Structure 1
Amino acid sequence: MVHTGACIAAIFGQGGSRRYGLTWRWLRYFKNDRDRRDLVTIGAGAGVSAAFRAPVGGVLFALESLSSWWRSALIWRSFFTTAVVAVVLRLFVELCGSGRCGLFGKGGLIMYDVSTLFEDLMTYHLKDIPIVVLIGVIGAVLGAFYNFLMMQVLRVYSVVNERGRAHKLLLAAAVSVLTSCCLFGMPWFAPCRPCPVAGPNGACGSLNKFRRFHCPPDHYNDLASLMLNINDDAIRNLYATGTNDVYHRGSMLAFFVASYALGVLSYGVVAPSGLFVPIILTGATYGRLVAMLLGRHSGLDHGLVAILGSASFLGGTLRMTVSVCVIIVELTNNLLLLPLVMLVLLISKTVADSFNASIYDLIVRLKGLPYLDGHAEPYMRQLSVGDVVVGPLRSFNGVEKVGHIMHVLRTTGHHAFPVIDEPPFATAPVLYGLVLRAHLLVLLRKREFLPAQERYPKEYSIAARFEAQDFDKRGSGKQDTVDGVELSPEEMEMYVDLHPFTNASPYTVVETMSLAKALILFREVGLRHLLVVPKRSPVVGILTRHDFMPEHILGLHPVLLGGKWKRLRWHKAAVAKYFRDLIVRLANCG
């Protein structure tokens, strides 16, 4: 649902789809970087609201894990959208509750409504806090290891997927066969259990969608009830209160191992498998298993521990705290869970951050996307922006030759270029502004050329020669390229006045500014380019997201790799060395 909401919003952000006839003139107002980014953020929050009936959780999810640039206007827009989703969803619930929706209202409309499972008062005491802390710590370790395994699997999948469509299909088929073997094979080894209360036709009347599988009447197979149900019903069964004796330890352990392994293996294939819900299901299974192992040492209901297990596993993998806490509270409709869920999330995130980054950050890095973290690395405070600027700098004169523009566009992939006025248009070289690559391509296609190196006359009107949609941001996969521009040799010798099409007030920083300060400015203002200016010459260079990435900085300054400014991580080699030294010291003391 998160991806669905984001995709729908992205379609509106690129002006609809001309291929399918889904476009309107008013959508052109959203074809810019800021509105498109806002729409995708709002759409993802709406998807969370639709999936979990959590409007506030949807807003916080978009704020905590999606948006790198947040402002007050985006808050109320996101909240308005998620509120509308919640109201419309409620209308469908009432409509389909009367049976007028047919199969559409059977089991799939409200995906994860488990609030009815918590009508009983669930109590906890101060003596249960150590158990909650233990759940958070173990969930953090399992979540960090889950992230590590998924990265290794995704690296292998990326190599396979690069070989073509046939290899992608074979990989998806292999994972599907493995999943089917686990789902239909493992329940045969689980024992049959008698129903607490017998229902009609030999079914278990007091249980929610439990499966008989190969069992006799008035019996059920607990492992089949988890594996052969959809994730919605499996989560409901695990979260249900008053079902402490429903599952066997062996069945719960088998389902945990299967869901843990299949969650790692199924993500990354061409078939969409999701990430959020499998993690919730695996965490709930882990919580139930911990409650069973503790037995009488814990007075907590197994359904409550399953919720805490989901929260700890979410905190250990996704590293989200506030949004997950609100989603769980809205999902269960039980405010009594708030203190325990908050404690578990804080512990799991803190412990897991010592091992690796969140699964979202790791996937983004694996794909090579220059996503900037919300904080600056410690070593960035020791560097200035001039230390990471690399050349050569490509810039244009205020009135530039067409042939030179074509040469620069063909030989570089830069998306923006500084415009510098030089004599005779200025007494000394001075920075005029920043021009975008897309705007240069528009000028070349329109052939707004001058025969000599001079500026446009005063009566020149941009509005008379261009329309607003000429400079709109193109949709995904529809970027203009210089290969489509064909000019004659005579046109290549002509000139273009870039002044009317240049952003004359770009963001600039001096080359002595701290790199950490520049990162904060770059991210919080939502920039794509940042000009670096010295005290004398017009421009030193231009910063993009790639220049703030740790890989780029450490590649330019490898001495920082062994410095004290690296973030604390518990690497395997460091942990092993620590324990070896500890054993040696203990042996010497003995």
Structure 2
Amino acid sequence: MDDASLFGQEIEPILVAVNLPELGARMDPIDETGGLLHAEQGLLDSDSPRRLSFKRNPPRLQTPSLVGGLRSKLRNYHLARKSSQGRSTAVYQGPSHPERIDQYDPATSEWAMEGTGRRVAYDNFSTIDWIHDFSKERVRIRALRALHGPRGLLIRAFDATQAWILVFLVGAVTGLLAAYIDVVSEWASDLKEGYCRDGFYLNRKFCCWHVEGTRECSSWVAWSEAFGADSGTVAGLWAEYFMFIVFGTAFALGSAVLVRDYAPYAAGSGIPEVKTILGGFVIRKFLGGWTLLIKCIGLCLSVASGLSLGKEGPLVHVACCVGNILPRIFDKYGNNEAKKREILSASSAAGVSVAFGAPIGGVLFSLEEVSYYFPYKTMWRSFFCAMVAAISLQLVNPFRTGKLVLFAVEYKRAWHGFELPFFVLLGVLGGVYGSFFIRLNLRMAAFRKNSWLQHWAITEVVVTTLVTALLSFTHPFLRVSSVELVANLFKECVETDTDFYGLCADPSHALASVIKFLIFSAGLKIFFTVFTFGIRVPAGIFIPSMAVGACVGRAMGIGMQLWRRAQPEMWMFAGCKPHEQCVTPGTYAMVGAAAALGGVTRMTVSLTVIMFELTGALTYILPIMLTVMVSKWVGDALGGESIYDALIHLNGYPFLDAKTDTVWNTTAGSVMTRVEDLDVVVAAGCTLGDLEEMLGSTTCKGYPVVDERGTMGLLGYAGRAELRYALDQARSSGIPPTTPCSFADTVLHEASPTQHTSPLAFSFDDDDDIDNGSASPQHLDLAAWTDHTPMTIGPRFPMEMVVELFKKMGLRYVIVCHEGSVAGILTKKDLLRHVGVEKLSEK
């Protein structure tokens, strides 16, 4: 191959093309860091334009070092031909047998068709560039389509199946992890009351599997019996009380210590952060391997401790951790953050599927609540992933009941028309509770974040657990786990069932006392949950909210039952048969649970389907829909934000809610950062030292590239991370600070589909410098690291449309231009600040 075919034209100065490695995005599934990593670096063969990538555990490469050996390698360049002026064009041919190197980005000539420039890995707490990642995918697809013959057909077929393989694996692993969490948490929770004589590893249910009921099971040893006291005596009660407190506190302490020492991101629900990540934000370690491991172990301990929390929300975090680790198998998803978020959306559906036994509800939850970008193909993959997760959990069958969750129920009686107003009342109470709870919990979270309490996280967990255990032991409804409480409140009273502390009592005076007991239980549950949700242990809000609503709903159902008994001839009960039960209190508990959960999370469609899949009763779809809608209306009227959105804003995450509408009377010119306050990069005229000084004196995430400072004509946009990486590589290669830098896209425009140019090009004055080993580059070409097609708008562009652009296209910034000249820049941070100011002004 001669120079004419290689370069397309004669180049007067000697051009040395050097492919520099680029920072990759792949991370180890256990140990991740947010900083830039060191890796072995080398030069690539010009005829084989593969890209180096930095990975957590890079392979041992026997390639020349760019840092220490650039000048020594200049002697090995092949001189292709002499020009008429006696100069020659030299291109380094690379090692004769280069080692296999993983690819990160394709060759530069392909990126010339996109114009978005190349990128380094996203920094921690940064926003991804959706447009660039979509461009990267288009480049990859074009390379696949260029493969011909049977080999190309097989490669494309395998590429098309990678997504289905991933979602299958995510669903299967999520189902197995959910089964493990169910079994371990149930065993540890029962350990607070006693142990199994036949096997210490058995919980109470499996220990007494052969017994009808568990009250007279000889295999189960209560702690009072273990200490040699009768369970009904004062000594026996004190022994059981003591062990209940000790084990509960020990479990919570163990969970808090694991979270503090190994995975701080494992604390809490995780849904606000998952929602932010799916919106394009990067939080290193949040979905890593250590977080997954500690989340699973800590969740078992915190649920078993008896705290007012649930495991359903954290299971979404667990599933997304799996969905973040497994895509590293395939570079298609491991090296593309936008594509990876398609798998994360499917993972969140799998999390809800195993949490509630509701695969369809999981898909709708992912669509309605957490996903920012949800194309049609993602919906099908989410459906498949949720289905596989539910099947995996069903095959394990952790409860040996055939049910995916403990509180799945079936109702035999239908509802009546006179009950609708009371269902609406439950919706109103649910909305009021949701707004009340969110305000109290946010105040507690703000106090925890900005006071001395943030330095005493372990002490807070221990004190909260002690108070919860001290008050819960004497209260039978709160002594059991929240899941068991909800399951018993949902149940329909039949003759063969065991009465759960008087819920199915016959005398009217007994039921009246149960109503008071339920209301008191709901009040205590609210008190516990306000202080528990937010402490440094894995904790969810779904089940505690459902427990509160179920208590109130069951109390209302029992009240309706007593009313019907007292006045059976009343016109309201005309449709009831005389000697049959007309009111089912369990359905009121279910509707109340949906109302309370809807008031806290503001979910609608997904919550309705989840409750339908829990009960399997199509008859109760209408009451649930009505209750959930009323709950959301009341909650929005009183508060406006769900608990997850409120926590996102409290933590300062850059999340732009795609569901909110904006009506302002402002333009982009009034919100943008003006060009007078900006640092810009001149395409030709700045030196390496000038760029170093600019990066050291500013904190901007990027800089507009202009033709000259007088006209300020826009040529592109250079990101800070890309500039820093390129300049670090140039400095480590011995390039002097006085070297001129060029950002013009001539290299990109001159590239042909068969020509592979380098991200950095060093132009030398004479070939004698190469022989003497004293070559200094004439200029440093940074065009490949520049986005030559930034989104631009005018100063009079309405801010409502700007917001829509950021929502629909996932932008990080837009350049504001007036008659072709840069007038300013508007970043996502500027936009979110403006949104916050407008919300405050509306209030």
Q: Taking structure 2 as the reference length, what is the TM-score of the superposition?
A: 0.52
Matched residues in 1 for 2:825 and 2:716: separation? Answer: 13
Of the three residues 171, 180, 192, the one matched with 2:469 is 180
* Cα 1:493/1:106, change in 2 over 3 Å: same
Q: Are positions 1:548 and 2:799 aligned together?
A: no
Matched residues in 2 for 1:108 and 1:158: separation? Answer: 43
Superimposed CA distance per residue, residues 450-501 of structure 1 (whole angstroms, 9 cap, x where no aligned partner): 833456866899967679xxxxxxxxxxxxxxxxxxxxxxx99996433222
Matched residues in 1 for 2:707 and 2:424: separation? Answer: 63
In the TM superposition, residue 370 of structure 1 has moved relative to its aligned partner by: 2.2
Q: Which deviates the most, 428-437 or 175-184?
A: 428-437
Secondary structure of 2:525's match? helix
Secondary structure of 1:432's match? strand
In the TM superposition, residue 372 of structure 1 has moved relative to its aligned partner by: 1.6
Of the three residues 240, 245, 249, the one matched with 2:504 is 245
Of the three residues 342, 348, 351, the one matched with 1:38 is 342
Structure 1: runs of 5+ lacking an equivalent: 16-23, 94-104, 188-223, 468-490, 568-590
Secondary structure of 1:254's match? helix
Matched with 2:702 is 416
Contact 2:354–2:389 (Cα < 8 Å) also in 1: yes
Q: Which deviates the most, 53-62 or 505-514?
A: 505-514
Contact 2:560–2:583 (Cα < 8 Å) also in 1: no
Matched residues in 1 for 2:586 and 2:782: separation? Answer: 66
Matched residues in 2 for 1:535 and 1:297: separation? Answer: 76
Of the three residues 55, 80, 91, the one matched with 2:359 is 55
Contact 2:393–2:404 (Cα < 8 Å) also in 1: no
Superimposed CA distance per residue, residues 72-114 of structure 1 (whole angstroms, 9 cap, x where no aligned partner): 2322222221122122223223xxxxxxxxxxx3479966243
Of the three residues 803, 813, 828, the one matched with 1:519 is 803
Of the three residues 591, 600, 605, the one matched with 1:317 is 600
In the TM superposition, residue 2 of structure 1 has moved relative to its aligned partner by: 1.0
Matched with 2:77 is none
Matched residues in 1 for 2:537 and 2:660: separation? Answer: 36
* Cα 1:134/1:259, change in 2 over 3 Å: same
In the TM superposition, residue 259 of structure 1 has moved relative to its aligned partner by: 1.3
Matched residues in 2 for 1:89 and 1:245: separation? Answer: 32
Letter in structure 2 aligned against 1:348:
S
Matched residues in 2 for 1:462 and 1:367: separation? Answer: 48
Contact 1:546–1:552 (Cα < 8 Å) also in 2: no
* 1:351-362 correspondence to structure 2 within 5 Å: 351-356=634-639, 357-362=641-646
Question: Which structure has the bigger radius of gyration?
Answer: 2
In the TM superposition, residue 8 of structure 1 has moved relative to its aligned partner by: 2.3
**Number of aligned residue pairs:** 470
Letter in structure 2 aligned against 1:253:
I
Matched with 2:587 is 304
Matched with 1:398 is 683
Q: Taking structure 1 as the reference length, what is the TM-score of the superposition?
A: 0.72
Of the three residues 453, 458, 478, the one matched with 1:169 is 458
Of the three residues 318, 321, 325, the one matched with 1:7 is 321
Superimposed CA distance per residue, residues 253-276 of structure 1 (whole angstroms, 9 cap, x where no aligned partner): 222112111111101111122112
Matched with 1:497 is 781
In the TM superposition, residue 349 of structure 1 has moved relative to its aligned partner by: 0.2
* 1:22-33 correspondence to structure 2 within 5 Å: 24=329, 26-27=330-331, 29-33=333-337
* Cα 1:57/1:549, change in 2 over 3 Å: farther
Contact 1:59–1:75 (Cα < 8 Å) also in 2: yes
In the TM superposition, residue 3 of structure 1 has moved relative to its aligned partner by: 1.3
Q: CA RMSD in A?
A: 3.3
Q: Which deviates the most, 544-553 or 167-176?
A: 544-553
Q: Which deviates the most, 289-298 or 1-10?
A: 289-298
In the TM superposition, residue 515 of structure 1 has moved relative to its aligned partner by: 0.9
Of the three residues 534, 541, 544, the one matched with 1:268 is 534
Q: Are positions 1:65 and 2:358 aligned together?
A: no
In the TM superposition, residue 143 of structure 1 has moved relative to its aligned partner by: 1.2
In the TM superposition, residue 518 of structure 1 has moved relative to its aligned partner by: 1.3
Q: Which deviates the most, 319-328 or 445-454?
A: 445-454
Matched residues in 2 for 1:495 and 1:277: separation? Answer: 63
Structure 2: runs of 5+ lacking an equivalent: 1-314, 495-502, 506-510, 565-581, 761-774
Of the three residues 360, 366, 376, the one matched with 2:650 is 366
Matched with 1:588 is none
Contact 2:668–2:795 (Cα < 8 Å) also in 1: yes
Contact 1:329–1:335 (Cα < 8 Å) also in 2: yes
Matched residues in 1 for 2:463 and 2:645: separation? Answer: 27
Contact 2:453–2:460 (Cα < 8 Å) also in 1: no
Letter in structure 2 aligned against 1:274:
G
* Cα 1:416/1:28, change in 2 over 3 Å: farther
* Cα 1:91/1:112, change in 2 over 3 Å: closer
Contact 1:111–1:232 (Cα < 8 Å) also in 2: no
Secondary structure of 2:787's match? coil
Contact 1:51–1:110 (Cα < 8 Å) also in 2: no
Of the three residues 407, 419, 423, the one matched with 1:114 is 407
* Cα 1:171/1:389, change in 2 over 3 Å: same
In the TM superposition, residue 520 of structure 1 has moved relative to its aligned partner by: 1.5
Contact 1:58–1:82 (Cα < 8 Å) also in 2: yes
Matched residues in 2 for 1:86 and 1:514: separation? Answer: 47
Matched with 2:552 is 286
In the TM superposition, residue 332 of structure 1 has moved relative to its aligned partner by: 1.5
Secondary structure of 2:704's match? strand
Matched residues in 2 for 1:376 and 1:12: separation? Answer: 33
* Cα 1:353/1:322, change in 2 over 3 Å: same
Matched residues in 1 for 2:402 and 2:695: separation? Answer: 50
In the TM superposition, residue 277 of structure 1 has moved relative to its aligned partner by: 1.8
Matched residues in 2 for 1:462 and 1:421: separation? Answer: 27
Contact 1:311–1:345 (Cα < 8 Å) also in 2: yes
* Cα 1:502/1:287, change in 2 over 3 Å: same
Letter in structure 1 aligned against 2:320:
A
Matched residues in 2 for 1:109 and 1:429: separation? Answer: 69
Letter in structure 2 aligned against 1:5:
A
Matched residues in 1 for 2:590 and 2:723: separation? Answer: 55
Matched residues in 2 for 1:459 and 1:139: separation? Answer: 63
Contact 1:315–1:348 (Cα < 8 Å) also in 2: yes
Letter in structure 2 aligned against 1:514:
P
Matched residues in 2 for 1:548 and 1:527: separation? Answer: 12
In the TM superposition, residue 443 of structure 1 has moved relative to its aligned partner by: 0.9
Of the three residues 118, 134, 151, the one matched with 2:425 is 134
Matched with 1:479 is none
Matched with 1:439 is 722
Of the three residues 499, 521, 530, the one matched with 2:814 is 530
Matched residues in 2 for 1:109 and 1:169: separation? Answer: 38
* Cα 1:108/1:227, change in 2 over 3 Å: farther
Contact 1:151–1:362 (Cα < 8 Å) also in 2: yes
In the TM superposition, residue 127 of structure 1 has moved relative to its aligned partner by: 1.6
Q: Are positions 1:227 and 2:478 aligned together?
A: yes
Q: Are positions 1:147 and 2:438 aligned together?
A: yes
Matched residues in 2 for 1:229 and 1:127: separation? Answer: 34
Letter in structure 2 aligned against 1:249:
I
Contact 1:422–1:430 (Cα < 8 Å) also in 2: yes
Q: Are positions 1:350 and 2:616 aligned together?
A: no
Matched residues in 2 for 1:435 and 1:550: separation? Answer: 24
Higher RCO (CA-CA < 8 Å; seq separation 6+) = 2
Q: Which deviates the most, 27-36 or 336-345?
A: 27-36
In the TM superposition, residue 417 of structure 1 has moved relative to its aligned partner by: 2.8
Matched residues in 1 for 2:808 and 2:381: separation? Answer: 19
Letter in structure 2 aligned against 1:430:
G
Matched residues in 2 for 1:539 and 1:75: separation? Answer: 41
Matched residues in 2 for 1:494 and 1:403: separation? Answer: 14
In the TM superposition, residue 540 of structure 1 has moved relative to its aligned partner by: 1.9
Matched residues in 1 for 2:700 and 2:326: separation? Answer: 27
In the TM superposition, residue 295 of structure 1 has moved relative to its aligned partner by: 4.1
Secondary structure of 2:826's match? strand
